[in-house]
Amino acid sequence: MIENSAKPCDTGSERSVVSERFPEVDFTKLDPVYPSKSPKTVYAFTRRAILARGDACLRNLYSRQEKVIAVVSHSGFLRTAVSHRMYANADFRVFTFAESAESDGVPRLVESDLTSGKGGLGHSDEGDYPPQDLDFPPEEQMEDIAEEQGDTANNEATREVPQ
């Protein structure tokens, strides 16, 4: 998943680049739109797109057969779209899924007592940190950028991330 900024450090590499660098990995299932940050794609740096990617991530993890899964990502994406917890550099947290989902059907996470509070390394801020308006650029600003770029992509920013 692409993280929540439009900066180069949060933008993936083109399939041609990564497939050449990692020939042993099968990239054929990689979304052909990836890594476009166009405001019209699922990978856009917008509130709607980022939260949709977080929901898709939770649904995907919930549907997996494995009982223990490690997720490695940037703290900004984890905080705003997945767990609503803060993460210090290289920190970790342990979650399980709640027995009931959110009212919109998105699985809910419950943090383990092992990491509840300050995270696994004890350096993270305590508490719940849901997404704030300041975490994302205004949607109108991104729509203006799309218009300026003549963006004609037909991928909706609210569709689920391809599996």
**Confidence at residue 40, expressed as pLDDT on a 0 to 100 scale:** 81
Look at residue 135 and tell me whether its pLDDT is greater than 90: no
Distance CA 25, CA 154 (A): 28
Q: What angle do CA 57, 35, 65 make, to 5 degrees?
A: 25
DSSP 10: G
23: phi then psi, degrees, rounded to nearest 5: -65, -20
Beta bridge partners of 111: 95
* Per-residue buried b or exposed e for 129-153, using 16+ beta carbons within 10 Å of the residue's own CB: bebeeebbbeeeebeebbeeeebeb
Look at residue 150 and tell me whether its pLDDT is greater than 70: no
| pTM value surpassing 0.95 | no
Instruction: Share the mean pLDDT of the chain.
Output: 83
